[in-house]
Chain A
């Protein structure tokens, strides 16, 4: 038995997406830049995928750049806005403390070049507000980059409000929408988004492909130099099979978004309810403004990696913001950003539900997590200290 609840890491591809890819490996395998018929057939497919993706985002095909994934799109969006800004003497960027590292590390790179970066504090419910952004916008602010939904705790940021504010103040707005696209409503025009990035494999499309949307008029800076693909803004032969798979998966996910979101929310809420019965545990992040499939908990007195390994033994594939899984000794920067102390942040668990998860699986997960947490606490010196009252519990 295997219960896969790590859909925020990646998803199993949908049969629709797989089938959409196959012809572009065996029949229409041409290079879209080639002038012969096989190449031109691929070029037509590429144009078709581009307009379909644009249709979902509510923009023009001309505003879509295919990339190798969300990280590349984040890098290019931020670097482009920074280059545009510095030409006008604007070298200040606003972001948040709990962005993905594709954003945070790009910002660190720009800081070394002399940009100043303001990282907004995240409220303990995992949200930032448009007012917070308004408070720190300066004359020299060239970019606000704030994620649509957080990858660890699933909290949904008020991006439409932030977008409206940025538009009014004449500052570019980028959103890392990797966790949101296919799962939350998106319309880049209505939400006043100038730059948006996402990845194909978070909504049952293939890995290694993503999209950067750049509003017409926002000139992009190349991250990859070479041929004239993607309007000359992203060199390299287009990954046609992956692009076709992503376009199909995106349309499919968007078509079922509403019903799927409702179903997943019910499972999510039951999981949260069940895991909340574990003493000295806490859900991380707001439970309402939250991705339909995201559950994230801290359990005091245990460490997340042990929990994951023992859950894996029970057939449950989950994830944690735990230090140990990432090869660093520090716990999740997201959990620290929402104010969880180090000691508690080490004991985190992320369960991200997807299309194939069932109510029966949710009950099994609740029982398994409860059992494993109790076992790990029984061998934990930290738990002994807490239980004996020598140390105070941090979670209720």
Chain B
């Protein structure tokens, strides 16, 4: 069996929404180059909808695929729907990830939440801090 599903390889080879948004309404960056993964998510939000989303990722195949899939899953959705995106949903949409790569889908969820947090803060929107994971202590690696 191959390391990755066809879906993962497709999103890795042809990532959707790669790039940056210069005038983004929210930017989130998570991960650590020491651990080998960094994801940056850029959001353009209009009328409480994710009008546009882009990503940049330094990481392995599943990190790039997870970022790509996560952006697909939230594009055009409401901010509340984007907030509700889980790492499990990302991994399932990719037809699964190898066990030692599941942290990539966790990073994707965290990156989107970090970008939304940035959006809330920039716009003075109140939010529930409990909904945001503490990205500084990601369980993905020991650094």
Contacts and interface: CB of A to CB of B under 8 A. Distances in A.
Say whether A associates with B: yes
A223 interface: no
Interface centre among B20, B58, B140 (most CB of A within 10 A): B58
Interface in A294-336: 301-306, 309-310, 313, 322-324, 327-331
Contacts of A138: none
A346 interface: yes
A302 B60 contact: no
A341 B64 CA distance: 22
Contacts of A301: 58
A322 B59 CA distance: 11
A303 B9 CA distance: 16
A306 B36 contact: no
Nearest to A343: B33
A303 B107 CA distance: 16
A313 B61 CA distance: 13
Interface centre among B13, B37, B59 (most CB of A within 10 A): B59
B122 interface: no
Contacts of A329: 35-36, 100, 103, 140-142
Given A301-B58, A306-B60, A382 B12 contact: no
A302 B103 CA distance: 18
A301 B9 CA distance: 21
Contacts of A115: none
B137 interface: no
A382 B38 CA distance: 7
Nearest to A382: B58
B56 A380 contact: yes
Given A303-B60, A384-B56, A379 B15 contact: yes
Interface residues of A, number: 27
B61 A381 contact: no
Contacts of A384: 20, 56
Contacts of B12: 306, 309
A342 interface: yes
Contacts of B100: 327-329
Contacts of A341: 34
Contact of A309 (B19, B29, B39, B61): B61
Contact of B64 (A322, A343, A346, A379): A379
A302 B58 CA distance: 6
B9 to A, nearest CB: 8
Interface in B30-73: 33-40, 56-61, 63-64
A301 B103 CA distance: 20
B18 interface: yes
A302 B63 CA distance: 12
A342 B143 contact: yes
A29 interface: no
Given A379-B18, A380-B56, A306 B61 contact: yes
A334 to B, nearest CB: 16
B140 A346 contact: no
Which residue of B33, B59, B61, B100 has the most chain A CB atoms within 10 A of its CB atom?
A: B33
A384 B18 CA distance: 13
B131 to A, nearest CB: 24
A327 to B, nearest CB: 5
Contacts of A322: 36, 60
Given A305-B60, A329-B140, A324 B36 contact: yes
Contacts of A303: 36-37, 58-60, 63
Nearest to B104: A324
Nearest to B101: A324
Interface in A255-312: 301-306, 309-310
B103 to A, nearest CB: 8
Interface string B106-143: 00000000000000000000000000000000001111
Interface of B: 9, 12-13, 15, 18-20, 29, 33-40, 56-61, 63-64, 98, 100-101, 103, 140-143
